Amino acid sequence: MSDVRSEILLRCISCGREFPADSIIYFCGDCGNLLDVVGDIGRLNPIELKNLWASRKFTMWRYRELIPVEREPITLHEGGTPLYRAEKAARWADVKNLYVKFEGGNPTGSFKDRGMSVAITKSLELGRETVICASTGNTSSSMAAYAAAAGVKAIVLVPRGRVAAGKLFQTMLHGAETYTVDEGFDTALQTVLSSSRESGIYILNSVNPWRIEGQKTLAYEVWEVLGDGEYVVSVPVGNCGNISAIWKGFKELEMVGLARTHPRLVGVQAEGASPFVDMVRRGDERLIPVESPRTIASAIRIGKPVNWLKALRAIRESEGLVEKVSDEMILEAQRLLASGEGIGVEPASAASLAGVKKLREQGLLDRSETVVCVATGHALKDPNPDLVPNKPRESSYLARR
């Protein structure tokens, strides 16, 4: 079957100006807004596609007709992650059905691998020999691993002392040249954007539209199991890239004619880092940055999310919801998933479940809903034994049980 690669281009999400697919740009030259990868997917045959996908093994590359790369991909077998039925979590959040899409099952332990597989493949197509990103730790771990697999040089900027141990270790182990900034993620990203303007080094943060092309495949996987969209998908939100990507995936299923409806999306932020949720609740289109974002969930400790406009459209077009949750609730959700369901996720990932519970408590979500909580990263990413009440005891206690 043919695919969409020949007509691919980049289109500004605001003014609609189009750029050739091989342009090395992240923002529109006219209005400065973000870009989307677009192709003529409406002419693909949905029945042929469905059969083709079902015949392939379960990694994200089974959807390759909708992943616009030219060359053989750089892959570590990303995607194809489990979708667990979680009954205790459903009871805890007070909804009828609850599933957890466990992105910790990806090669480096987070959803970023989907985007990096595509973006690193694109880097090679574009002849880029060095890639760069700012990160709260998962993007850098993933980029470092995929750069290693591709033989490309990786440069990383992270906030000093504020990246979880597991993530910093991965980033270094995979060989990325790592720099720290005294401020938070937002400053690190600004530094990356301005340094790359001078150096031309290829940026692999989620401003890079090819990252989104990989991350959208989560939607295809959920759709393959749950079918058309009579459900809610809850996503932890930091820089607003992943929720935008997941929405693009669901929309594309409709455009291709595979789905008739789409799920509603729920975006969840931590209370101390919630500029996106606050903007949606105000009902305007003006993101007011949070200068010193605070939360235990370091992955989403972000005060100025660059992809906010894409994410705003995801919430509005899907008739979705937003919520912000306390660190206490995030940790409670994390413990519930781990000790009640056997699913180990990092704190940021547990925000998706905590958000669903809070929306239920406020009556903003119906009890009859089926909910998919995206668990974005593995528990081992951010180990903190001090936060777990279940402490090890001396072995002499064992005899006295």
Residue number, 99 or 102, with CB nearest to ligand F0G: 102
Report the largest interatomic distance among the alpha carbons of the chain, rounded to a whole angstrom: 74
According to the binding rule CB under 6 A, does residue 110 interact with ligand F0G? Answer: yes
Verify binding: residue 123, ligand F0G, rule CB under 6 A.
no
Backbone angles phi, psi at 72, to 5 degrees: -60, 125
Site for ligand F0G in 360-379 (CB under 6 A): 376-377
Q: Taking contact as CB under 6 A, which single stretch among the options 258-266, 279-287, 330-338, 346-354 is the one that binds ligand F0G?
A: 346-354
Round to whole Å and give the CA distance between 130 and 298.
27
Residue 139 sits in the site that holds ligand F0G (CB under 6 A): yes
Side chain identity at residue 61, one-letter code: W
8 binds ligand F0G (CB under 6 A): no
- Contact by Cβ (8 Å): 289, 303: yes
Which of 351, 298, 299, 349 is closest to 326 using CA atoms?
351
Shortest Å, Cβ 219 to ligand F0G:
14
- With binding defined as CB under 6 A, does residue 300 bind ligand F0G? yes
**Closer residue to ligand F0G, CB minimum distance, 133 or 359:** 133
**Identity of the amino acid at 111:** F
- Here the tokens at position 284 are 């305007």
Pick the closer one to ligand F0G by CB: 146 or 256. Answer: 146
Tell the smallest beta-carbon distance from residue 371 to ligand F0G (Å).
17
Q: How far is the CB of 312 from ligand F0G (least distance, A)?
A: 13
Are 69 and 211 within 8 A, CB to CB? no
139-174 burial: b if 16+ Cβ within 10 Å, else e? bbbbbbbbbbbbebbbbbbbbeebbbebbbebbeeb
Contact status: 277 vs ligand F0G (CB under 6 A): no
| Alpha helices (H) along 341-387 | 347-361
Nearest to 53 by CA among 304, 214, 221: 221
Q: Does 78 bind ligand F0G (CB under 6 A)?
A: no
Q: Among 138, 170, 234, 318, which residue sits at the site for ligand F0G (rule: CB under 6 A)?
A: 138
Using the rule CB under 6 A, is 206 a contact of ligand F0G? yes
Residue 181 touching ligand F0G (CB under 6 A): no
Q: Is 236 in the site for ligand F0G (CB under 6 A)?
A: yes
Q: Is 237 in the site for ligand F0G (CB under 6 A)?
A: yes
State residue 281 phi and psi, 5-degree precision.
Answer: -70, -35
Total residues in contact with ligand F0G, by rule CB under 6 A: 21
Interhelix angle for 241-256 vs 308-317, to 10°?
50
- Which span (36-44, 54-62, 231-239, 246-254) binds ligand F0G, by CB under 6 A? 231-239
**8 or 144: whose CB is closer to ligand F0G?**
144
Between 65 and 215, CB nearer to ligand F0G:
215
Q: Binding to ligand F0G by residue 349, rule CB under 6 A?
A: yes
Segment near ligand F0G (CB under 6 A); pick from 52-60, 234-242, 248-256, 336-344: 234-242
**Rounded Cα distance, 230 and 36, in Å:** 26
Least distance to ligand F0G, CB of residue 279, Å: 14
Chain center to CA of 243: 6
Q: How many degrees, rounded to 5, is the angle at CA 81 between CA 152 and CA 273?
A: 75
Residue 197 CA to residue 176 CA, distance in Å, equals 21
* Of the candidate residues 44, 222, 268, 299, the single one contacting ligand F0G (CB under 6 A): 299
135 makes contact with ligand F0G (CB under 6 A): yes
- In angstroms, the CA 266 to CA 18 distance is 30
Measured CA to CA, the distance from residue 145 to residue 139 in angstroms comes to 10
238 binds ligand F0G (CB under 6 A): yes
| Interface positions with ligand F0G (CB under 6 A) | 110, 135-139, 206, 236-242, 299-300, 346, 348-349, 376-377
